[in-house]
Structure 1
């Protein structure tokens, strides 16, 4: 025994010298085990399959048996255990190791902060640091580690490839093919605006740069920089996309359908931009998973990933204050909260005064009976919104997200007067506008090729008005309520790297209530409708370096009418030359809920729109058909985009167009046809962006039961030009100057010499040919300045100054006529004016 041990020591020392001299040559473990058995008179018990391929470097200057076993435990993935002094087992059971990795991108070799490293079938995991590193200890040697990051393909590795706590192995993540194909131009007009390959535009609020006149990345103000998207009366509540009305835009927030878009009754976007991470605007060629908006789709989404640290910010401008925060509860659970409120009910600013006068001009708040002077009137207006999101990453393949959003506008109006008996009469009127939404999503990735998304939502919209009319001692109460619930299942199958298949089902239930009560004389009028819709959709998407094709179809079935509407969709892009591409898009769409405009039965004279539901008789389902084709040239950061489009919309009614003419009180069903051309040239550099856009369109109504049957659309804007210059004066100072010029909108004059008509006891304006005249052209110049500086490494602040209508031009945005109360034979002209010179200042602190 002692002789064998001595021979083993001598042999080991000699072999160590030889091996070291020959660059540390290794030996098979099975051979080394046999040497140990002979030298120390011990026996090893092991599985040949586990040991046969293992190599080991002989230990240097290690001669004791226990030291040799410890060395083998430390330097192999096997576990060596003494049963007694003579028998030793070799196994992989309960063997754990420490691992580390450096996660980097494929193309740029940049570290990925916030990537997730998780052990399969366990709750063990880690998040990569700012250097892209992660460390995990006590990991079973047979475990699998999954490395994932949003926008990149998940990579799975055996932990043995990452063994050790130093010299961490590089783990290269490949971008998902879908992400590569989504974004075509990363800086479009300004930072944070991106052009996607399917022709849609994406706004990323966190990366938003600067646009003329804006002090915040206002979502619905920002998208008006796009050609073909504008507001006929500079109101968020009246965004017109390629000649459509605002209610024809599908508004989605985290897959929740929204029926309300603006604060201040339309002048400010109702969606807090600081947690609305991504906004995608599609004018045509929409995915078949979306319907219910015959003009456009505006799809807003908050963040999809659990934050690795607490982020947040607070800010204020001359209208409101807001705050938001992202909080990781743990590696898998995160919470996002935001809130915003105006302080206009406590004190006012010049900015507020301008917005108030613009919003409430010609309403009961600013025009009332002569027996009430200004000192007898008092109004209080404020708005607020809030949102919340809970993200739960169950594992790398399953994620749950729940969302809440609330939007509120409140107006209280007090008036008093002294009657003939010297008694003071006082009345209070109010107007409340609310949109509340709940939603939930479950994302599941069942394999590398197959994934699903299941979402559901609840949306409730209310506008309620209580109007006390002193002159008649009458109380008028009005309510418009929309309740919608829906569920949608998307299934995505990756046929190949270039070909994907989307299939899905959507169910929606919409109920709309309209109610009016009058106190004197007593009257109650209530109307409630409910509509169920089932939809199946399918879509094939092909994407290569030179070709993009999305071909889809959607079938909508309305139970109440036993009606099926088939909607084909097309989105095609082909690279003709290296820098020149051809675009062709087309779609059929429908919507069953529209807004009617009633100037005689409005809410306090402020909000005159109310939602109604199709009944397939007097109110049909609106259906649109649209086609567009264009060329896109992109070279040396110069983008030139020209696109012609043609769109028809059938199933509109006189009541939802808001006519100021003889058709105002008639019932008729018709449509409109719009054809036009959009042009955009945008040159960008590291420190600047310059663009100019031009839109030409012809937009005409057709109502066969009216005379004349054909006449210009209320939003027929023949020429519209916009442009801007953005400059980074310094690394932390940005300026933007831009403006717009467009033709005046159509309006209708009374018949000259015969301006009014009498019908019994009622007198009406006698209008001439509808929309035969046009307002003067609209022109506005805006500017903004942004200054950013760091307070510390993790805290920075931004100061922005914006001025709308720098030249203080008095633009007329609408013109209509009313019977002169002092002379029933004459009509008086009413003009609505745009915002005058309106400055604003915002300050933000971000951490």
Structure 2
């Protein structure tokens, strides 16, 4: 199969079609005239408000270039952005000024096309920028899912095959800082992570950091995903609506006047309305080997009746934009995400009833004021509030015999305010600095009521608050096509442990030629809130991780040191990016990771990660190909485990390869991608051993075995069309196939002791959780 796939990709790599290439030479030409010239040369149309263009003039020289590349260059030297609505029509809008602690514009080209339209690398810091509205079709995706798109990049994996389960360079998902309009998100997935909870149709920009994060980002030790929703004021009522086989969505932008606008957006699952093949496959993947799929069976041949079957998710966003003048902007954002599950079962032979209810909410608000005083100085003042609440209740009863109840709640309340100042010292140096305050309260409650044996009842609660203060600064020195030096520092104070933590950060880049540069970065990071595994609700099989605040005993502050070095080559539509890194994490515990061969045994440890990320991209007219490769050696060391010797980390993926292809033909956009990775480690069991307390599992060395290799092939195609000649009503239909050849991939392997149905003996049962099989999806979406 692998041999055939390689041949297939080899031949498809030569497919291409011709596109118009022209040379342009603009010297201080008004932008409005440039757009007219491009309309004539490329037979396209630009729709824009003359006020947004203003009196801007640009200077640009490009030899034999595609329209797309010219537009990217114009974006880099102006304050406008282009959105491709159809094959011929583009919309043009003004973008807000960016702070010095954000992306900075160089004199010429700052952002270059990275993987596809809408995904680019920032040459002025280490971030990768994504614009969902401009992202081309990607393998297996018919919507620009933000978190799934990120997984195409080297160094980012999802061993659980979910959208929100992002492991960035060996870090766990809870070690990632995810911001939505400045609101900290403690749950970013729908349907137990399979779908992103962040609406792509109202998302304007995403900045991703794998290393070299700006000093304004803190309290996480792995990646940063900073998401900004649409803040563009529009003069006309506009919006969009659509559906696929998992959910429907709608959004509108309502102009109040020239200075005030409102945006509303919402999505909701359709599983409780219509049962689609896509949702069936996702459900099979999510609920396999859980209490829901097993129906609370005691024996394999138990006859189980479903008495309640309810699941849905939704999210909603409300945003108000106020621009009183060109030097001030005020934005008020709100977001709510919800997942609701209610399942009930009845084993009629024993009259045993069971019910599981789960409610997960994440809601937040933010208020941001940006003030520009002159061309040299500006500031931002931001306030946010975030609330996460997980509540689970499981009951099990037999009439007139017993009634057991298990209850769990995890609540996080996070509120803060920050001040960011930005000062341009001269044409090559800039300074950004600020202060942040945050108050984070985390509550955890777990209780069990046993009606037959009240002595087994228990109640556990943990309620802790951490007040953090941070002062930070960034100094940036740039000489175009020669040097980039970014020196930053951050000081944190965490009240939960009553300590200060220093975080130096350095980024250096040196251009050996216009097409070749070398780069390096060093950063030291700390984290005071993280997730731990609780085993009391493991029978339920879902959501067994809870947020906790660091203390001086069981949950230490996490600390990460990362050193990264690499090279970039970018010429003639070839792009090669190679990065090697070393990452060391301290403060890990057996409660935060969980190991199969220990039970409720507390142990502290650390991890060392050596990795290499390679990204190679080539564009040939309408055809793009991308090759992404990651190597990682992630070792854990715990003094009380494995005799103190290092062993493979839980998510250690040694090799990971993605080879994707995209091709445009008329109004069709197609994409095909192959994904391969080595299996993750697991702890193999030899069998059962008898003890005084009954049978126990005899495990081999911790994480000493590996699952079979994982691989799949995905495909997507989207067709765009217009309802009207002036393109005011536009639509698209899409079709995608995940895992085309229906490969049976194993995501995890565990073991349990189960009583035999034939006698009183016990048997060892192997539990494999399989990845998603062949899964189709359809899309219809309309914009107006």
Structure 2 partner of 1:391: 321
| Deviation per residue, 1:183-209 (Å, 9 max, x gap) | 644322221111111232111011111
Structure 2 partner of 1:839: 776
Runs of 5+ consecutive residues of structure 2 not aligned to the other structure: 1-28, 39-45, 58-73, 81-93
Q: Specify the SS of the correspondent of 1:353.
A: helix
Structure 2 partner of 1:65: none
Structure 2 partner of 1:491: 421
1:608 aligns with 2:608: no
After TM superposition, the structure 1 = structure 2 runs for residues 27-46 of structure 1, keeping only pairs within 5 Å, are none
1:755 aligns with 2:688: yes
| Deviation per residue, 1:479-522 (Å, 9 max, x gap) | 01111001111000011122110010001111111112222234
1:293 to 205, 211, 220: 220
2-side partners of 1:455 and 1:742: how far apart? 41
Asked if structure 2 preserves the Cα contact closer than 8 Å seen for 1:361 and 1:832, the reply is yes
2-side partners of 1:552 and 1:394: how far apart? 33
1:714 to 637, 645, 650: 650
After TM superposition, the structure 1 = structure 2 runs for residues 720-759 of structure 1, keeping only pairs within 5 Å, are 720-730=656-666, 732-750=667-685, 752=686, 755-756=688-689, 758=691
1-side partners of 2:95 and 2:314: how far apart? 42
2-side partners of 1:150 and 1:548: how far apart? 21
1:186 aligns with 2:127: no
Q: Specify the SS of the correspondent of 2:147.
A: helix
| Deviation per residue, 1:750-778 (Å, 9 max, x gap) | 2x3x5345463x64323211000001100
Structure 1 partner of 2:448: 518
Asked if structure 2 preserves the Cα contact closer than 8 Å seen for 1:619 and 1:669, the reply is no
2-side partners of 1:249 and 1:517: how far apart? 30
2-side partners of 1:110 and 1:514: how far apart? 62
1:769 to 701, 705, 725: 701
Cα 1:460–1:299 shift into 2, 3 Å: same
Report deviation, 1:276: 1.3
Asked if structure 1 preserves the Cα contact closer than 8 Å seen for 2:476 and 2:485, the reply is yes
Structure 2 partner of 1:809: 743
Asked if structure 2 preserves the Cα contact closer than 8 Å seen for 1:763 and 1:824, the reply is no
Asked if structure 2 preserves the Cα contact closer than 8 Å seen for 1:669 and 1:703, the reply is yes
2-side partners of 1:679 and 1:321: how far apart? 37
Structure 1 partner of 2:718: 786
1:414 aligns with 2:341: no
Indicate the RMSD between aligned Cα atoms, in angstroms: 2.7
Report deviation, 1:678: 1.1
1:620 aligns with 2:556: yes
Structure 2 partner of 1:49: none
Asked if structure 2 preserves the Cα contact closer than 8 Å seen for 1:587 and 1:625, the reply is yes
Structure 2 partner of 1:278: 205
Q: Specify the SS of the correspondent of 1:705.
A: coil
Report deviation, 1:590: 1.0
Runs of 5+ consecutive residues of structure 1 not aligned to the other structure: 1-101, 118-126, 133-148, 156-171
1:541 aligns with 2:480: no
Q: Specify the SS of the correspondent of 2:643.
A: coil
Structure 1 partner of 2:24: none
Report deviation, 1:656: 1.2
Asked if structure 1 preserves the Cα contact closer than 8 Å seen for 2:496 and 2:550, the reply is no
After TM superposition, the structure 1 = structure 2 runs for residues 234-383 of structure 1, keeping only pairs within 5 Å, are 234-367=161-294, 368-370=296-298, 373-383=303-313
Structure 1 partner of 2:66: none
1:666 to 590, 596, 601: 601
Cα 1:771–1:398 shift into 2, 3 Å: same
Structure 2 partner of 1:799: 733
| Deviation per residue, 1:681-707 (Å, 9 max, x gap) | 101244121011111110000112333
2-side partners of 1:173 and 1:670: how far apart? 46
Report deviation, 1:523: 3.1
Asked if structure 2 preserves the Cα contact closer than 8 Å seen for 1:103 and 1:173, the reply is no
Report deviation, 1:379: 2.1
After TM superposition, the structure 1 = structure 2 runs for residues 181-220 of structure 1, keeping only pairs within 5 Å, are 184-197=110-123, 198-220=125-147
Q: Rg bigger for which structure?
A: 1
1:442 aligns with 2:377: no
Report deviation, 1:154: 9.5
1:649 aligns with 2:649: no
2-side partners of 1:221 and 1:480: how far apart? 26
Cα 1:470–1:185 shift into 2, 3 Å: same
Asked if structure 2 preserves the Cα contact closer than 8 Å seen for 1:735 and 1:784, the reply is yes
TM-score computed with the length of structure 2 as normaliser: 0.85
Larger RCO, structure (CA 8 Å, separation 6 or more): 2
Asked if structure 2 preserves the Cα contact closer than 8 Å seen for 1:817 and 1:830, the reply is yes
After TM superposition, the structure 1 = structure 2 runs for residues 564-579 of structure 1, keeping only pairs within 5 Å, are 564-579=500-515
Structure 2 partner of 1:227: 154
Asked if structure 1 preserves the Cα contact closer than 8 Å seen for 2:419 and 2:436, the reply is yes
Cα 1:623–1:748 shift into 2, 3 Å: same
Q: Specify the SS of the correspondent of 1:470.
A: strand
2:378 to 448, 451, 460: 451
1-side partners of 2:250 and 2:106: how far apart? 33
Q: Specify the SS of the correspondent of 2:513.
A: coil
1-side partners of 2:95 and 2:347: how far apart? 74
| Deviation per residue, 1:461-485 (Å, 9 max, x gap) | 1111110123652111110111100
1-side partners of 2:419 and 2:335: how far apart? 22
| Deviation per residue, 1:769-807 (Å, 9 max, x gap) | 100000110001000001001111211101111111001
Report deviation, 1:440: 0.6
Q: Specify the SS of the correspondent of 2:365.
A: strand
2-side partners of 1:606 and 1:454: how far apart? 39
Report deviation, 1:660: 1.9
Structure 1 partner of 2:83: none
Q: Specify the SS of the correspondent of 1:365.
A: helix
Asked if structure 1 preserves the Cα contact closer than 8 Å seen for 2:291 and 2:539, the reply is no
1:561 aligns with 2:497: yes
2-side partners of 1:174 and 1:300: how far apart? 15
Cα 1:324–1:182 shift into 2, 3 Å: farther
2-side partners of 1:182 and 1:195: how far apart? 14
| Deviation per residue, 1:114-163 (Å, 9 max, x gap) | 6686xxxxxxxxx679999xxxxxxxxxxxxxxxx9988899xxxxxxxx
Structure 2 partner of 1:45: none
Structure 2 partner of 1:59: none
Number of residue pairs matched by the alignment? 697
| Deviation per residue, 1:390-410 (Å, 9 max, x gap) | 000021111110000011011
Mean Cα deviation higher: 368-377 or 627-636: 368-377
Asked if structure 1 preserves the Cα contact closer than 8 Å seen for 2:76 and 2:110, the reply is no
1-side partners of 2:78 and 2:768: how far apart? 58
1-side partners of 2:365 and 2:475: how far apart? 30
2-side partners of 1:656 and 1:267: how far apart? 22
Report deviation, 1:560: 3.6
Cα 1:532–1:519 shift into 2, 3 Å: same
Cα 1:676–1:131 shift into 2, 3 Å: closer
Asked if structure 2 preserves the Cα contact closer than 8 Å seen for 1:757 and 1:766, the reply is no
Cα 1:763–1:309 shift into 2, 3 Å: farther
Q: Specify the SS of the correspondent of 1:525.
A: strand
Report deviation, 1:526: 1.4
Cα 1:174–1:829 shift into 2, 3 Å: closer
1-side partners of 2:248 and 2:96: how far apart? 41
1-side partners of 2:107 and 2:151: how far apart? 25
Q: Specify the SS of the correspondent of 2:305.
A: helix
Report deviation, 1:437: 0.7
Q: Specify the SS of the correspondent of 2:31.
A: strand
Q: Specify the SS of the correspondent of 1:225.
A: coil
1-side partners of 2:708 and 2:326: how far apart? 59
2-side partners of 1:489 and 1:110: how far apart? 43
